[in-house]
Amino acid sequence: MTITSLNYLAFLAIALVCYYIIPRKWQWIELLFFSIAFYCLVAVPYTFVYLLISTAMAWIVTNGLAKYRENKDDYHAPVVWRVWIWLTILVDIGLWFLLKGTSFVRIVDWVAALGMGYYTLQMIGYTIDCYWGIAKAQTNPLKLLLFTSFFPQMITGPISRYRDLESIYEGRRFSYNHLAHGAQRILWGLFKKLVIAERVGVMVDPVWASPNEYSGLFTWMALLLYPLQMYTDFSGCMDIVIGTAEMFGIQLAENFKNPFLALNSQEFWQRWHITLGTWAKDYVLYPLLKTKAFVKINRLLKRKGHKRAGKIITTSLGMLALWLVMGFWHGAFKYIVGVSLWYWVVLMLEEYTAPFFGGLYGKLGCDTNSFGFKFLQRIKTYFIYAIGAAFFRANSVRDGIAFMGRLLKTFTRDNWNPWILFDGSILQWAVTGKNLNLIVFGVLALLIVAILRERYGYARVWLDKQPLVFRWPVYFILFFIVILYGRYGRGFEASEFIYGGF
């Protein structure tokens, strides 16, 4: 059962009816029941034991620490409790590495838990927050298990913080607005996934599956279209997830905020997979910069008159650690190259060359607020991401490097083939003219919604203010486009979500 299937919508409808007809004090138990049921329907049921282990460890240690602080009236934890905190974290990391990190070292051939990468980071974050005193330890182990296994976020996150999701235990009255806004978000997610991502995939996937059979502009089109496929796939899934939770009156963290409108790579990663980036900053980068070793390096260089050098060295090392963790979390060496090293180099270059280019733009009289300047910056940012995404999509680092070589060969006499844009060769990808028109229409719809979101926070905020005779036709048009042109149904299996494997 995928979250784009009719089975999922039926499951959601049953869960919603049960949620709103039972007494509010029992609603969290209903969510836990349906979360466990969802897990057993989607994943291998016995792997739920891994969630139980992670939850039990966190519950025992955090509540033990809380009782110690209460009895001793002392916030500072002794060494023994710090050891237990670290042991809990290492158990979570160890289980993940044993089951998901086999791309680095083949240890066992066991089935991993559903959403293991996401709930592992959640539980590590919860444990650390309790240790830091940011979050209050949950005394009910079943409530903590609901935080770990809440079914909408089990496929692709987001990576929730306990303090943000603590309201999940509160009872809620039925709300038409919650139901309507959640349904709108789900519909928009289905449009992204089934209408856009699946069609772009028809064009992109054959090139990546058999790269030696394609050359010239085919490889460039695969490079430049893959970020569009990834975005509509991943963010479409997140829309369905967030919309599902919203129908229960629960607000999950946003994971995307129009990333392709970013003017540079740093801004891009503040808009793309937001919860992973903030998790890595809060639990890897900032604690690392506060360690004695990093502080000592900073002070030493500052005393010798190298204040800027100290900041550059410590920031660069901290950012390298952050990006290595993010690449490692993705579970294969190719992500270390395509995610970690590539973006670490790009971000450091952007950071340390910003003063130079800022001065250069001033001398050249460039208006950095003009449409043309911002447009070119966004094109540059998109292209930088596409290069990293190529290693994300390739089967290995070697294949990624070979693909880069084919891109460069495009401009040689034997591979230069611009006529494919006009002679119908693109239709060899099993893409009809209608499908190409739908992709163009979809991209325009994405652009309109992105602009509205930038101005109003959410496109629906603007849409809610429009007359009924304008608003409802928009909903019906989107609905019928998904029904008529979405790639689904018997004989077709929507491809797995790109980020569903983490």
Digit-coded pLDDT (tens) for 230-240:
999 999 999 99
- What number is the average pLDDT over the span 47-59? 95
Residue written as tokens 């007359």? 467
Q: How confident is the model at residue 497 (pLDDT cuts 50, 70, 90)?
A: low
Q: How confident is the model at residue 459 (pLDDT cuts 50, 70, 90)?
A: confident
How many residues does this entry show for the chain?
502
Ramachandran bin of 262, using left for φ above 0, alpha for ψ from -120 to 50, beta for the remaining angles:
beta
**Residue 256 φ/ψ, nearest 5 degrees:** -140, 145
Whole-model pTM?
0.92
Query: Helix (H, G, I), strand (E, B), or coil: what is residue 50?
Result: helix
Q: Is 495 exposed, middle or buried (0-12, 13-18, 19+ CB in 10 A)?
A: middle
Residues 6+ apart with CB under 8 A from 470: none
pLDDT the model gives residue 490: 45
pLDDT the model gives residue 492: 46
Task: Give the Cα separation of 198 and 394 in Å (integer).
Answer: 18
pLDDT the model gives residue 384: 95
Residue written as tokens 């891109």? 407
- What number is the average pLDDT over the span 89-116? 79
pLDDT the model gives residue 322: 92
Q: Which of 61-65, 106-110, 143-147, 258-262 has the lowest mean pLDDT?
A: 106-110
Task: Give the Cα separation of 31 and 110 in Å (integer).
Answer: 28
Q: How confident is the model at residue 269 (pLDDT cuts 50, 70, 90)?
A: very high
Which amino acid makes up residue 188? W
Residue 491 has pLDDT above 70, yes or no: no
Residue 494 has pLDDT above 60, yes or no: no
The segment with the largest mean pLDDT, out of 114-118, 375-379, 425-429, is 375-379
Rounded to the nearest integer, the mean pLDDT of the chain is: 88
Residues 6+ apart with CB under 8 A from 398: none
Q: Which of 85-99, 126-140, 247-261, 326-340 has the lowest mean pLDDT?
A: 326-340
Share of the chain above pLDDT 90, in %: 53
Residues 268, 377: contact at Cβ < 8 Å?
Answer: no
pLDDT the model gives residue 409: 87
**Residue 106 φ/ψ, nearest 5 degrees:** -80, 110
Residues 502, 331: contact at Cβ < 8 Å?
Answer: yes
pLDDT the model gives residue 428: 66
Q: How confident is the model at residue 103 (pLDDT cuts 50, 70, 90)?
A: low
Residue 106 has pLDDT above 70, yes or no: no
- What number is the average pLDDT over the span 55-75? 85
Q: Which of 59-63, 207-211, 231-235, 379-383 has the lowest mean pLDDT?
A: 207-211
Residue 308 has pLDDT above 90, yes or no: no
pLDDT the model gives residue 105: 60
> What beta strand segments (E) does 373-419 contain?
none
pLDDT the model gives residue 424: 74
Q: Which of 211-225, 280-294, 297-311, 386-400 has the lowest mean pLDDT?
A: 297-311
- What number is the average pLDDT over the span 393-420? 85
Task: Give the Cα separation of 42 and 48 in Å (integer).
Answer: 11
pLDDT the model gives residue 304: 77
Residue 206 has pLDDT above 60, yes or no: yes
Higher pLDDT, 202 or 224: 224
